[in-house]
Amino acid sequence: EVKKNGKNGYQFYTGELNEQLQEKIELEVELRQAIARKQLFLNYQPQIRAGDGQMIGVEALVRWNHPTKGTISPGVFIPIAEETGIIYEMGTWVLREACRQMKEWHRGGGPLIPVSVNLSSQQFHQTNLAMYIKEILEETGLEPQYLELEITESMMMDATVSRSILNELTESGIRISLDDFGTGYSSLSYLKLLPIHKLKIDRSFIRDITENNNDKAIVATIISMAQHLNMDVIAEGIETKEQLDILMDNDCKKIQGYYYSKPLPAQDVEEAFFAPMRASGS
């Protein structure tokens, strides 16, 4: 009988599996309550114009302030939210909170910059996605040109991420950005079929760009393609001056990464980035 050999690998393995499963189930239960209990919050990572260091936008990134586990990152709980359908309510909350914060900054004399919000593919399964996003803009008073939606390449290939929804969104003035560009399995022809405004070069091409000529070539090609397609381009995951210099040499002027700033609470963005902007009069 298995229990008599309590120390064998099999028992150890199932025990560990059960523990992981148990933990996941607990997280799921707690995640369902997290929104109502106001445990979710947004951090904002500045997007910087490399030439003069000005903040030209922010990306909203959700965090979960768990009562006992501390801050949990979206890499852990977004997949659970997606598997369980919690993503619908969470996605709506993120959109509303990001738009509210942006409008508050605009009203308070902060910089007139846009916010980028990540969408999950499931959110496109909601038939009224475009309508409720427009409702959130009306509710919060944020002008549509200050909202940018980030979708991924694989979502672009997903039939439910339909051209009609993206067209409806962009016709109202909202912008669409392709996140993690270069990592998905997408056909470039989608770039001309869908209303995409911006390519976001994935961090995986930036990481080794100072030593890896293939990465350098890919990044240069993405930048050039974006320019030829009249799209905006931004590089994410810039951590060092050396990486920044390569991007600038290749004419990529928009940068997001730890080199300039980690994602910060709204208050910290104000303190670190608003005052310098006022001082420079822009």
Does 180 participate in binding Mg ion (rule CB under 5 A)? Answer: yes
- Residue 73 touches which of ligand C2E, Mg ion, none (Cβ within 5-8 Å per kind): ligand C2E
Distances in Å between the alpha carbon of 208 and those of 24, 57, 219, 240, 249?
Answer: 34, 25, 11, 11, 16
Task: Please classify residue 53 by burial: count the beta carbons closer than 10 Å to its beta carbon, then call 0-12 exposed, 13-18 middle and 19+ buried.
Answer: middle
Q: Which is nearer to Mg ion, 30 or 148 (CB)?
A: 148
Among 143, 168, 180, 232, which residue sits at the site for ligand C2E (rule: CB under 6 A)?
Answer: 180
Does 73 participate in binding ligand C2E (rule CB under 6 A)? Answer: yes
Segment 208 to 267, residues that bind ligand C2E, using CB under 6 A: 236-239, 256-258, 263
Does 31 participate in binding ligand C2E (rule CB under 6 A)? Answer: no
What pairs with residue 58 in β-bridges? 46, 115
140 in Cβ contact with 100 (< 8 Å): yes
- Nearest approach in angstroms of CB 69 to ligand C2E is 15
- Residue 237 touches which of ligand C2E, Mg ion, none (Cβ within 5-8 Å per kind): ligand C2E
Segment 111 to 130, residues that bind ligand C2E, using CB under 6 A: 118-120
Among 30, 148, 153, 179, which residue sits at the site for ligand C2E (rule: CB under 6 A)?
Answer: 179
Does 47 participate in binding Mg ion (rule CB under 5 A)? Answer: no
DSSP strand pairing (70-72 vs 54-66) = antiparallel
Contact characters 141-160, Mg ion, x per CB under 5 A: ---------x----------
- Nearest approach in angstroms of CB 279 to ligand C2E is 25
Q: Residue 262 corresponds to which tokens in the numbers above?
A: 């980690």
Identify each DSSP E strand in the chain by its residue range.
40-49, 54-66, 70-72, 115-118, 147-152, 175-181, 198-201, 232-236, 254-256, 264-265
Does 177 participate in binding Mg ion (rule CB under 5 A)? Answer: no
Eight-class DSSP state of 273: I
Dihedral sign computed on CA atoms, order 94, 100, 103, 109: negative
List the alpha helices (DSSP H) in 108-212.
129-140, 153-157, 163-171, 189-193, 203-206
The closest of 60, 84, 88 to 74, measured between CA atoms, is: 60
Does 75 participate in binding ligand C2E (rule CB under 6 A)? Answer: yes
Among 30, 97, 179, 215, which residue sits at the site for Mg ion (rule: CB under 5 A)?
Answer: 179
Q: Which is nearer to Mg ion, 141 or 265 (CB)?
A: 265
Residues that bind ligand C2E (CB under 6 A): 45, 61-62, 73-75, 78, 94, 118-120, 150, 179-180, 203, 236-239, 256-258, 263
